[in-house]
């Protein structure tokens, strides 16, 4: 796959306007990006522009209740979202509440059906051991991808983290690198490390 076809062209700013989302969708079509990634309120508009739409669940902290995350997922799917990027409950992870995490991810995947579910683990908050655990939980719970970052945490995607996650989940599972990816050199290094999806608001700059 060409690099452009791995990119979720992303605009998750709280100040995002209708015109900015339409511009994002135009860019996605022009550059043939995989999808646009937008906040839930913009999913319907993005789909009206004729692009694949990814949206976020429990974003950006992951601390919503499971019931709220499921409700968000249902609404996003009603609006025709193609993919859901959900934030893991980081407190549960640090408390080793593995059963609760698996239950939450599993319920959201069940809700999504054949739609792709990515689990954002916000690597910058985690120890190596916690990153490994989070990736294992995402995989055994039925998700399709593990994703490095929201872009709102204290750090973004690194080659080291992508290599680690790919090593944990193996070759048949998705790894999405996101957060702070602004250049083609960065994106290519992350793909070489094992990422098969790139989340960035700089897709045009990366592929232009």
60 closest CA partner among 115, 10, 9? 10
148 closest CA partner among 131, 167, 136, 129? 131
Q: What whole-number percentage of the chain has pLDDT above 90?
A: 99
Report the DSSP beta bridge partners of residue 176.
147, 197
Q: How far apart are CA 19 and CA 16, in angstroms?
A: 8
Q: How far apart are CA 73 and CA 63, in angstroms?
A: 15
* Residues catalogued as catalytic: 85, 147, 176
- Confidence at residue 1, expressed as pLDDT on a 0 to 100 scale: 78
pLDDT per residue over 5-51, tens digit each?
999 999 999 999 999 999 999 999 999 999 999 999 999 999 999 99
- Give residue limits of the domains in the chain: 3-207
37 closest CA partner among 169, 207, 197? 197
Q: Are 114 and 77 in contact (CB under 8 A)?
A: no
- Fold (topology level) of 3-207: TIM Barrel (3.20.20)
Q: Are 166 and 145 in contact (CB under 8 A)?
A: no
């Amino acid at each position: 796959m060409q690099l452009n076809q791995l990119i979720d062209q992303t605009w998750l700013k709280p100040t995002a306007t209708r015109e900015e989302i339409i511009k994002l969708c135009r860019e996605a079509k022009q550059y043939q990006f995989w999808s646009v990634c937008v906040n839930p309120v913009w999913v319907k508009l993005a789909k009206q522009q004729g692009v694949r739409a990814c949206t976020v669940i429990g974003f950006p902290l992951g601390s919503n209740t499971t019931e709220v995350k499921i409700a968000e997922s249902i609404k996003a799917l009603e609006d025709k979202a193609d993919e859901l990027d959900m934030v893991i409950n980081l407190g549960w992870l640090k408390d080793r509440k593995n059963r609760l995490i698996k239950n939450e991810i599993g319920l959201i995947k069940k809700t999504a059906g054949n739609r792709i579910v990515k689990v954002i683990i916000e690597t910058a908050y985690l120890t190596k051991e916690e990153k490994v655990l989070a990736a294992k939980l995402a995989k055994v719970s039925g998700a399709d991808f593990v994703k490095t970052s929201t872009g709102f945490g204290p750090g973004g995607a690194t080659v080291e983290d992508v290599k680690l996650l790919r090593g944990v989940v193996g070759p048949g599972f998705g790894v999405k690198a996101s957060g702070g990816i602004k250049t083609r050199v960065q994106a290519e290094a992350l793909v070489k490390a094992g990422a098969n999806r790139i989340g960035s608001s700089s897709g045009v700059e990366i592929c232009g």
